[in-house]
Amino acid sequence: MTYENLVPVIRKLAIEAGAKIMEIYNSDDFDVKVKSDDSPVTEADEAADALISAGLRAAFPDMMLVTEEQAASHKERGETFLIVDPLDGTKEFIHRRGDFTVNIALVEKGVPTRGVVYAPARQRMFFTLADGSAVEETGAFDPETIGETRAIRVAESDNSALMVVASKSHRDQATDDYINKYSVKDSKSAGSSLKFCLVATGEADLYPRVGRTMEWDTAAGHAVLAGAGGKVVRFDDHSPLKYGKEGYANPFFIAYAPAVELKEA
């Protein structure tokens, strides 16, 4: 596997999965089940997972694959692997709020190095090129052909007037307490891994997450943000957020543009 052949495959699969998700999203009704951890799962999660998993296994049969919807894959451990959240923001999907994404990423030695984040209802797609830089694609999102792209870069943040983005479904007092340590010009809420992408494009400076996430929730957005010059660190000690942890659970974290002067937890 090379980055040159990885990027077109994950981009194509994200678009195809997004089309399947939107078919179900735009239908009159869809089934919602509850998983063992009390989180919801829909037929769209399952259909997108089947499509992406089949595509990745066909293209990269020797690569370890971790995906949210296949519990057996969570028991595998390795330094290098593909990781998938076929529908991040299931609550946003269920309530038809649009802020949900398809996420596919490559992790190497604990670091997400390449990834794609596609928000089909928002018609926004972000991914890393073969060289690791991040772009946003606009246009028709043809699965076979990359359309017009623009390079994205984090903001040169003004610490006296920061833009903060936080979770739409999981914001709490602890998050607000941390945000209040900064001089904030404005804040916005967004669902799913779109929050990483808003920092990557310079639309936000800071995204603190004081709540439960899994590696498949964050890897693709992390890769895009890193490709745009951003950083993701642990909330407690500001060390880099690592991947391939036992159980694939993340600690609390902060995603930010490097010009932001981080405050202690």
What integer pLDDT is reported at residue 191 of this predicted model?
A: 83
CA distance linking residue 198 with residue 190, whole number of Å: 9
Residue identified by tokens 């089309």 is 19
Q: Residue 75 in contact with residue 68, Cβ under 8 Å?
A: no
CA 37 vs. chain centroid, Å, equals 20
pLDDT score, position 90: 80
The reported pLDDT for the residue numbered 89 is 87
Q: Which three-class secondary structure state does DSSP give residue 182?
A: coil
126, with CB counted inside 10 A (0-12, 13-18, 19+), is buried
Cα separation, 170 vs 193, whole angstroms: 13
Which residue ranges form the domains of the chain, and what is each CATH number? Answer: 3-151 (3.30.540.10), 162-256 (3.40.190.80)
Q: Where are the alpha helices (DSSP H) in 84-214?
A: 90-94, 173-179, 194-200
pLDDT at 38: 61
pLDDT value of position 168: 66
Sheet with 162-167: list strands edge to edge.
184-190, 162-167, 206-209, 253-256, 231-234
Q: What pLDDT was estimated at residue 97?
A: 84
**138 contacts 150 by C-beta, under 8 angstroms:** yes
CB 141 within 8 A of CB 125: yes
Instruction: Please state the pTM of the whole predicted model.
Output: 0.94
- Residue 184 backbone dihedrals phi, psi, to 5 degrees: -105, 125
Residue that the structure tokens 């052949």 belong to: 5
Give yes or no for a contact between 19 and 91, defined as CB atoms under 8 angstroms apart: no
Both structure tokens of 173: 């007092």
- Per-10-residue mean pLDDT of the chain, 265 residues long, equals 96 97 86 67 88 98 93 84 94 85 97 98 97 95 96 98 85 89 94 94 97 95 98 98 95 98 94
Q: How far is CA 77 from CA 62, 109, 245, in A?
A: 14, 11, 8
